[in-house]
Amino acid sequence: MIRFVPRERTPVWLTIAVSIGSGLAALLLTAIPLALTGAPVFTAFVLMAQGAAGDGFALAETLTRATPLIFTGLAAAVAFRAKLWNIGAEGQLYAGALATVALGAGLIEAPPYVLVPLVLIGAAAAGAALLLVPVLFKARFGADEVVVTLLMNFIVLLFVQMMLEGPMKDEMALGWPQSAPVLDEATLPKLVTGLRLHWGLVLAVVAAVLLHVFISRTVWGFRIRAVGENARAARYAGLPVGKAMALVGILSGGLAGLAGASEVAGLKGYLTADLSPGFGYAGIVVATLANLSPLGVVPAAIFVAGVFVGADSMSRAIGISNYLADLVVAFALLSVLVGGLLTRFRIVFVRREPA
């Protein structure tokens, strides 16, 4: 039989080898359904790679798509570290987007150096407030946060639709309901003219670095990690568990809220009910691929974004459904989960002990 023996230390080469191996496994697994459809498998993957990073334009698209994923990936990473199972980043993203439009679409007139920070803080506060509700429910009533955060996603999305058809509706817009555009003063500038890439990416990377420093170098970061590893022991040791969980809620919800602000103020310019194609859920995948490390979230988000952008372009070229992207991402998540076993345990084959 097989036994897992915990490793004392994980060698760096193994971590890297497992990451690459998991990626290859995901591609191999995806090749099966692709081959079943009769598509040229190799060509399809080459086209995907070209579509994701074949030239400067493709790369810029991938990085643009990665921006909200970095934020939601960080949101999941910091929460999961503390074993706060926040599955509600999608709703928190929309809460941030709503705040962005509420503050940035004409309510306040101010120069950019005032309005941009105001919008970002407002969005983070909205996302944080939304997650503090289930954290409070968990602390006060013992209500499971997995279910509550999940269900809140639906409530927030319906609320967004209500606002877009009601008070926030842009009367000038034709067709689908959308909000009024955010003011120029509230817009995150483009990084390169002519490309969609915007300053949200820089903010996201800075957030990843700050979160890394916070978690690994500060007292509160230590407390969050301690609570995540063993809440009972942390409480016994006199750590302020309740405050630590509230802080995790603020950080996680706030980061997800920033994803909404960055999409509205940096990319779309206004809010629609289809702002996010599931960035909140994809953030969980990103965080897992990154092994819950804030710095690892950046490459993981770029990988996931590349898969989506590449699959889009490949599906246009050879007429294969772009749901293939979701397949690659799902396989990547599962292979990384299994691969993670190899970094945490040594697998030992032993003879079945006599009973």
Partner 1 sequence: MLEALDILLQANFWAATIRIATPLIFGVLGALLCERAGVLNLGIEGIFVAGAMSGWLAVYLGLPLWGGVLVAAATGAAFGFLHALLTVPLGLSQHVTGIGVTLLATSVSYFGYRVAFPNVATPPRIEPFPPLDVPFFGDLPFIGPILDQQSAFTVLAFICVGVLAVVLARTPLGLALRAVGDNPEAVEAQGLSVVALRMGAVMAGSALMALGGAFLTLSAFNAFYFGMINGRGWVCIALTVFASWRPGKALLGALLFGALDAYQLRIQTIAGGVVPSQIFLMLPYIFSIAALVLVARRADYPRALMKPYFKGQR
Binding site residues, partner 1, CB under 8 A: 4, 33, 36-37, 80, 85, 87, 137, 141-144, 146-148, 150-152, 154-155, 158-159, 161-162, 165-166, 281, 284-285, 288, 319, 321, 323-324, 326-327, 329-331, 333-334, 337-338, 340-341
Q: Residue 162 Cβ, how far from partner 1 at the closest point, in Å?
A: 4
Q: Residue 289 Cβ, how far from partner 1 at the closest point, in Å?
A: 11
Q: Residue 328 Cβ, how far from partner 1 at the closest point, in Å?
A: 9
Reduced to 3 states (helix: H, G, I; strand: E, B; else coil), residue 36 is helix
Task: Please calculate the CA angle 69-208-308 and round it to the nearest 5 degrees.
Answer: 20
Q: How far apart are CA 312 and CA 319, in angstroms?
A: 10
Q: Residue 190 Cβ, how far from partner 1 at the closest point, in Å?
A: 32
Residue with tokens 């396989």: 331
Q: Report the helix count and the strand count for the chain, using DSSP H and E.
A: 13, 2
Q: Which is nearer to partner 1, 163 or 182 (CB)?
A: 163
Reduced to 3 states (helix: H, G, I; strand: E, B; else coil), residue 348 is strand
Q: Give me the helix-helix angle, 89-104 and 145-165, nearest 10°.
A: 30
| Phi, psi values for residue 182, rounded to 5° | -70, 150
Q: Which is nearer to partner 1, 54 or 278 (CB)?
A: 278
Q: Which is nearer to partner 1, 144 or 229 (CB)?
A: 144
Q: Residue 236 Cβ, how far from partner 1 at the closest point, in Å?
A: 19
Would you state the structure tokens that stand for residue 19, as one six-digit string? 């990451």
Q: Which is nearer to partner 1, 203 or 327 (CB)?
A: 327
Q: Residue 288 Cβ, how far from partner 1 at the closest point, in Å?
A: 5
**Beta bridge partners of residue 349, listed in sequence order:** 2
- Taking the CA atoms of residue 42, residue 48, residue 50 and residue 52 in that order, the dihedral angle to the nearest 10 degrees is -150
DSSP states of 57-96: HHHHHHHHHHHHHHHHHHHHHHHHHTT-----HHHHHHHH
Q: Which is nearer to partner 1, 202 or 341 (CB)?
A: 341
Q: Which is nearer to partner 1, 108 or 330 (CB)?
A: 330
**Beta bridge partners of residue 6, listed in sequence order:** 345
Would you state the structure tokens that stand for residue 99, as one six-digit string? 């705040």
SS3 content of the chain, % helix, strand, coil (to 5): 70, 5, 25
Q: Which is nearer to partner 1, 262 or 288 (CB)?
A: 288
Q: Which is nearer to partner 1, 71 or 281 (CB)?
A: 281
Q: What is the largest CA-CA distance in the chain?
A: 78
Which residue type sits at 105?
Answer: A
Q: Residue 148 Cβ, how far from partner 1 at the closest point, in Å?
A: 6
Q: How far apart are CA 209 and CA 80, in angstroms?
A: 18
Q: Residue 259 Cβ, how far from partner 1 at the closest point, in Å?
A: 18
